[in-house]
């Protein structure tokens, strides 16, 4: 074989040698980016559609992921959701502190969006790829705070400040303890642009179903009562398999 032929063959082997690792690296980078994006992007908006509440209280049956639920109609935000059946997500709301559903008498309260609004919005969604709260705190949020150790915050919470170069720079992170489990909440800061900020929490209902809920930051002092009440309310909707 001529020198030119050998050189061409060596060149092909060299390119093959680095093309395969490069392709593997590219695939891993893309998958990693998608994984992070899934957790860094906030969940689907609670109020993308036009709200159409009802004071009717008949129960509506849903199947979301591996959960079966019976939810009174007056807890459901949207008319098209009240048909029930298999759903990818269901949006709800309730009034704090009694966690009652919508009523005509309380219509103005439910339609308000003041900084001290007592309305809590909930989203139950099918999400096969999800992290527990503690995992999300360690694997996602703590990479974006200025001090991973946090500091004592208000109302028995540990407070973390997100760095100004992070996507959460207009938010604070608060972590509380409830029955041995962490309660992780992201709260938008008060500002001239945001006069009615909210706090958001995500938690697992099952290995494939996630509950998100948000409440006004003005009620952060009641975070424990809100966490307890939301979980009790949603648990009352879940139908156990016989």
Same domain, 126 and 191: yes
> Could you give the number of structural domains in the chain?
2
Distance (Å, whole) CA 33 – CA 59: 41
Handedness of CA 51, 52, 55, 57 (dihedral sign): negative
Distance (Å, whole) CA 76 – CA 120: 12
Distance (Å, whole) CA 94 – CA 114: 15
Same domain, 104 and 160: yes
The answer to whether residues 182 and 133 touch, using CB atoms and an 8 Å cutoff, is yes
Q: Lowest-pLDDT range, 5-9, 30-34, 56-60, 96-100? A: 30-34
Same domain, 19 and 73: no
Give the number of other Cβ atoms within 10 Å of residue 174's Cβ. Answer: 24
Look up the domain containing 16 and give its range: 1-41
Same domain, 135 and 161: yes
90 has pLDDT over 90: yes
Handedness of CA 156, 175, 186, 178 (dihedral sign): negative
| Predicted pLDDT at 153 | 97
Let me know how long the chain is.
242
Same domain, 94 and 133: yes
pLDDT in tens, 200-214: 999 999 999 999 999
List, in sequence order, the alpha helices (H) in the chain: 3-40, 107-111, 133-139, 223-237
In a domain? residue 68:
yes
Same domain, 112 and 223: yes
pLDDT in tens, 39-88: 444 444 444 567 899 999 999 999 999 999 999 999 999 999 999 999 99
In a domain? residue 153:
yes
Same domain, 27 and 75: no
The answer to whether residues 60 and 68 touch, using CB atoms and an 8 Å cutoff, is no
Task: Give kind and range of the element (H or E) at residue 70.
Answer: strand 67-72
Same domain, 149 and 207: yes
The model's confidence at residue 6, banded by pLDDT at 50, 70 and 90, is: low
Q: Is 171 left (phi over 0), alpha (psi -120 to 50) or beta?
A: beta
Same domain, 187 and 95: yes
Distance (Å, whole) CA 216 – CA 116: 6
Same domain, 104 and 4: no
| Predicted pLDDT at 130 | 84
In a domain? residue 53:
no
In a domain? residue 242:
no
In a domain? residue 47:
no
The model's confidence at residue 25, banded by pLDDT at 50, 70 and 90, is: low
Mean model confidence pLDDT for the chain? 86
The model's confidence at residue 179, banded by pLDDT at 50, 70 and 90, is: confident
Distance (Å, whole) CA 89 – CA 125: 4
Same domain, 37 and 115: no
The answer to whether residues 86 and 48 touch, using CB atoms and an 8 Å cutoff, is no
The answer to whether residues 29 and 23 touch, using CB atoms and an 8 Å cutoff, is no
| Predicted pLDDT at 241 | 61
Same domain, 31 and 91: no
The end-to-end CA distance of the chain, in Å, is 77
| pLDDT over 90, % of the chain | 75
């Amino acid at each position: 074989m001529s020198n030119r032929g050998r050189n061409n063959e060596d060149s092909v082997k060299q390119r093959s040698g680095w093309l395969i690792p490069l392709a593997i690296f590219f695939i891993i980078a893309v998958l990693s980016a998608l994984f992070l994006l899934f957790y860094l992007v906030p969940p689907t908006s609670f109020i993308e559609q036009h709200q159409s509440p009802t004071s009717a209280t008949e129960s509506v049956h849903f199947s979301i992921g591996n959960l079966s639920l019976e939810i009174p109609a007056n807890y459901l935000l949207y008319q098209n959701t009240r048909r029930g059946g298999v759903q990818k997500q269901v949006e709800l709301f309730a009034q704090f502190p009694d966690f009652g559903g919508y009523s005509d008498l309380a219509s103005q309260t439910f339609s308000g969006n003041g900084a001290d609004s007592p309305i809590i919005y909930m989203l139950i969604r099918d999400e096969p790829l999800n992290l527990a709260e503690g995992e999300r705190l360690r694997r996602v949020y703590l990479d974006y705070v200025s001090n991973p150790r946090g500091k004592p915050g208000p109302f028995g919470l540990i407070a973390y400040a997100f760095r100004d170069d992070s996507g959460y720079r207009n938010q604070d992170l608060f972590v509380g303890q409830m029955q041995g489990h962490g309660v992780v909440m992201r709260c938008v800061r008060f500002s001239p642009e945001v006069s009615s900020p909210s706090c958001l929490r995500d938690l697992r209902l099952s290995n494939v179903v996630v509950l998100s809920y948000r409440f006004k930051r003005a009620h952060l002092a009641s975070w424990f009562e809100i966490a307890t009440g939301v979980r009790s309310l949603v648990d009352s909707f879940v139908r156990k398999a016989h």
